[in-house]
Amino acid sequence: MAEIEYQQMLTNQNSGGSAVVVDFSNNTAVMDFVRWLKKQPQWFGNNASP
């Protein structure tokens, strides 16, 4: 899986809405949760897998 560059603020180009992003990459509990969450089937549709 490719690494994504951290950005402090994300902006939706269509709506102009924005959100502040907090960097939790040094928190192992959060990172373990994110890894688990990315493996859940609802992210890949009914028949797809990671």
Q: Which pTM was predicted?
A: 0.46
Give me the pLDDT at residue 29, please: 94
Residues 18, 21, 35: CA angle, nearest 5 degrees? 125
How many angstroms separate the CA atoms of 29 and 39, rounded?
16
Model confidence over 1-50: pLDDT tens digits? 566 677 788 899 899 899 998 888 899 999 999 889 888 888 766 555 55
Nearest to 25 by CA among 37, 36, 11, 35: 35
